[in-house]
C-alpha cells in the first residue's frame, strides 16, 4: 500500500484536480490511500470567517465566496449533477452556518476553530472522491475524524497513536477493497467525537499517521516544488535539489524552519523505515527527493530562512554574573508562556534568546522578569541557519547584513540580522 498526500496548492481549482486525478490514475493498480488538504487557501478563508463571527461582524459575503469557490470547481469538473455530492456539500455548509450562528465565547476559540476550519478538508475530499468516481477511478471516502483519535488540545491536538493505528488499520482493510481511499489531512476527533486539528500544515503528518498504521510501502508528498531544495527558491537564487536525504537531515531541516515538510512527519516514518518521497505535481515524471535511512556524502549546505524574529537580552545590573539560577528563572517563564527558542547565547552579565516574535507574549515575559533583569529587545529581525555550512556559503550570506548575533557549531551556522 502507498500513501499520497496532496496539499491545498495541488487542488486549488478544477485544472489542478484534473492533474491530481491523472497522477492517481497512473498508480491505480497500487493500493492507495490519498490524504488531501482543503482546496487552495480555504483554511485561511475559514479562519477569517471565524474571526469575523467572533467580532460579531457580517459574514454573508465571505461565506458566499467560500460556497462559490467550491461550486465553481464542482461545475468546472462537470460533477454538478452528482446528487449525493450536492446533498453532502449542502450539509457541510449547513453545519458550518449553524456552528457560526451558535458561536458563543464560552465555547472557547480553539474548540470553535476546530469545528469550523476542519470542514475545509471535508469539502475538498467530497468533491475529489466524486470526481475520481466520475472518471471511472473507484474511490471510497473515509472520514479521518472517525479514525484519527486525539486528545482535546484543540488546534494542536496530540495523536493517540494506539487508538488511531488500530482504527485506521481495520477501517482501511475494508475500504481499500472498494478502490482508492480518499481521506482528509489535518483533522481528527477527541473521545467525545468532536473535531480536532493537528496544527497548520498538518496534513503531511496525517499522511505519516496513515502510513505507519498500515505499514505502507512509501509516502509521497506532491508539492509545487521539484522536491526538497537546499533553500527556498522564492528567497534564494541557484537552489540545488537533494535527490536523497537521510531522515535525520530532513528532520533537522524542518526543526530549523524549512517549511517543505511538516516537522512532525519524519519521526514516525523513520521509526518504521517507510521512505518519504517529495515530488512535483507539476512534473510528476521527475523523481524528486527520496528521504530514507541513508548516508549521503557531501550534502549541499541547506539554507533555512526564518523571518519575524525577536532577540531578547536579560542583563544583570548589580555586578554579579549570569548563573544557573538566572537561566533557570528565564526558562521557567519561557516554558510557562509556551515560547520556543530558536537560538541562545550567554555572556558574563547577560543571557540572550532569539524567538519567533509574539509581541503579546514578549510583553508577558518582560513583565514577569523585569524585577530581576534589565531587559532589551530588537524586533522585526530575520534568522538564517546554514546546515552543513562551508566558509563560502557563510561569506556569501553575511554580505551586506547587519548581524545582531552569530553562532556556529560543527555542522550548523546561525545568524540573526536586521532587515
Ligand atoms: N489545510 C490545512 C492548512 O492549510 C492543513 C494542511 O494543508 O496541511 O494548514
pLDDT tens per residue across all 419 residues of the chain: 999 999 999 999 999 999 999 999 999 888 999 999 999 999 999 999 999 999 999 999 999 999 999 999 999 999 999 999 999 999 999 999 999 998 887 888 999 999 999 999 999 999 999 999 999 999 999 999 999 999 999 999 999 999 999 999 999 999 999 999 999 999 999 999 999 999 999 999 999 999 999 999 999 999 999 999 999 998 898 899 999 999 999 999 999 989 899 999 999 999 999 999 999 999 999 999 999 999 999 999 999 999 999 999 999 988 899 999 999 999 999 999 989 999 999 999 999 999 999 999 999 999 999 999 999 999 999 999 999 999 999 999 999 999 999 999 999 999 999 98
Instruction: Give the model's pLDDT for residue 107.
Output: 87
Q: Compute the distance between CA of residue 122 and CA of residue 145 in angstroms, rounded to an integer.
A: 10
How remote is the CA of residue 291 from the centroid of ligand 1, in Å? 22
CA of 262 from ligand 1 middle (Å) equals: 10
Taking the C-alpha atoms of residue 121 and residue 98, their distance in angstroms, rounded to an integer, is 18
Cell 555586578 belongs to residue: 319
Q: According to the model, what pLDDT value does residue 162 have?
A: 98
Q: What is the distance in A from the centroid of ligand 1 to the CA of 224?
A: 15
> How many angstroms is it from 203 CA to the middle of ligand 1?
6
Which of 43, 197, 281 has the most ligand 1 atoms within 8 A of CB, as the residue to mutate? 43
Residue pair 59/100 in contact by the 8 Å Cβ criterion: yes
Q: Out of 37, 47, 114, 148, give the residue to mutate to test ligand 1, the one with the largest number of ligand atoms within 8 Å of its CB.
A: 37
Would you call 75 helix, strand, or coil by DSSP?
A: helix
The DSSP call for residue 229 is B
Alpha-carbon distance of 263 to 257, in angstroms, equals 8
Distance 117 CA to ligand 1 centre (A): 10
Question: How many Å lie between the centroid of ligand 1 and the Cα of residue 197?
Answer: 10
Query: Cα–Cα distance between 351 and 378 in angstroms, integer?
Result: 14
Structural domains present in the chain: 2-223 (3.40.1160.10), 302-418 (3.30.2130.10)
Q: Which atom of ligand 1 sits closest to the CA of residue 38? A: 1
Distance CA 322, CA 347 (A): 7
CA distances from 357 to 7, 308, 336, 382 (A): 27, 6, 16, 10
Residue 43 is predicted with a pLDDT of 98
Please give the pLDDT value at position 104: 81
What is the structure's pLDDT at 263? 93
- What is the pTM (predicted TM-score) of this model? 0.93
Pocket test for ligand 1, best of 4, 36, 116, 185 (most atoms within 8 A of CB): 185
CA distance 280 to 20: 11
Ligand 1 atom at minimum distance from 262 CA? 8
Q: Which of 11, 26, 4, 43 is nearest to 128 (CA)?
A: 11
Residue nearest to atom 6 of ligand 1 (CA): 201
Quick one: pLDDT at residue 155?
Answer: 97
Whole-number Å distance, alpha carbon 186 to ligand 1 midpoint, is 6
Give residue 43 CA to ligand 1 midpoint distance, Å.
Answer: 6
Ligand 1, CB within 6 Å, residue ranges = 7-8, 37-38, 43, 120, 185-186, 200-203
User: Euclidean distance between the first and final Cα of the chain, in Å?
Assistant: 47
Nearest CA to ligand 1 atom 8: 201
Contact 228, 277 (CB under 8 A): no
Dist CA 226 CA 3 (whole Å): 19
The pLDDT score that the predictor gives to residue 121 is 98
Amino acid at each position: 500500500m502507498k500513501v499520497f498526500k496532496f496539499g491545498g496548492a495541488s487542488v486549488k481549482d478544477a485544472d489542478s484536480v484534473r492533474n491530481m486525478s491523472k497522477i492517481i490514475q497512473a498508480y491505480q493498480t497500487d493500493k492507495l490511500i490519498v490524504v488531501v488538504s482543503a482546496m487552495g487557501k480555504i483554511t485561511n478563508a475559514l479562519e477569517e470567517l471565524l474571526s469575523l463571527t467572533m467580532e460579531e461582524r457580517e459574514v454573508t459575503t465571505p461565506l458566499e465566496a467560500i460556497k462559490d469557490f467550491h461550486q465553481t470547481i464542482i461545475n468546472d469538473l462537470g460533477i454538478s449533477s452528482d446528487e449525493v455530492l450536492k446533498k453532502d456539500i449542502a450539509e457541510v455548509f449547513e453545519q458550518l452556518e449553524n456552528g457560526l450562528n451558535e458561536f458563543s465565547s464560552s465555547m472557547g476559540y480553539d474548540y470553535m476553530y476546530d469545528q469550523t476550519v476542519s470542514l475545509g478538508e471535508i469539502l475538498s475530499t467530497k468533491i475529489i472522491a466524486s470526481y475520481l468516481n466520475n472518471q471511472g477511478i473507484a474511490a471510497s471516502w473515509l472520514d479521518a475524524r472517525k479514525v484519527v483519535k486525539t486528545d482535546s488540545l484543540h488546534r494542536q491536538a496530540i495523536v493517540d497513536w494506539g487508538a488511531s493505528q488500530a482504527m485506521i488499520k481495520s477501517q482501511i482493510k475494508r475500504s481499500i477493497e472498494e478502490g482508492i481511499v480518499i481521506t482528509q489531512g489535518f483533522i481528527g476527533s477527541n473521545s467525545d467525537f468532536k473535531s480536532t486539528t493537528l496544527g497548520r500544515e498538518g496534513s503531511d503528518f496525517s499522511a505519516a499517521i496513515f502510513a505507519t498504521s498500515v505499514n505502507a510501502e512509501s509516502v509521497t508528498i506532491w508539492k509545487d516544488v521539484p522536491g526538497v531544495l537546499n533553500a527556498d527558491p522564492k528567497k534564494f537564487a541557484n537552489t540545488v535539489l537533494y535527490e536523497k536525504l537521510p531522515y535525520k537531515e530532513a528532520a533537522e531541516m524542518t526543526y530549523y524552519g524549512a517549511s517543505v515538510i511538516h516537522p512532525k512527519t519524519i519521526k514516525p516514518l523513520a521509526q518504521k523505515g517507510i521512505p518519504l518521497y517529495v515530488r512535483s505535481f507539476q512534473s510528476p515524471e521527475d523523481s524528486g527527493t527520496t528521504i530514507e535511512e541513508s548516508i549521503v556524502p557531501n550534502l549541499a549546505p541547506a539554507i533555512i530562512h526564518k523571518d519575524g524574529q525577536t532577540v531578547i537580552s536579560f542583563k544583570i545590573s548589580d555586578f554579579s554574573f549570569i548563573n544557573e539560577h538566572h537561566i533557570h528563572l528565564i526558562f521557567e517563564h519561557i516554558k510557562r508562556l509556551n515560547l520556543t527558542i530558536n537560538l541562545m547565547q550567554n555572556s558574563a552579565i547577560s543571557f540572550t534568546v532569539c524567538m519567533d516574535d509574539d509581541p503579546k507574549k514578549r510583553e508577558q515575559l518582560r513583565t514577569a522578569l523585569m524585577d530581576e533583569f534589565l531587559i532589551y529587545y530588537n524586533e522585526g529581525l530575520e534568522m538564517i541557519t546554514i546546515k552543513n555550512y562551508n566558509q563560502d556559503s557563510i561569506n556569501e550570506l553575511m554580505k551586506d547584513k547587519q548581524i545582531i548575533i552569530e553562532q556556529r557549531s560543527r555542522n550548523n551556522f546561525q545568524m540573526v540580522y536586521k532587515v
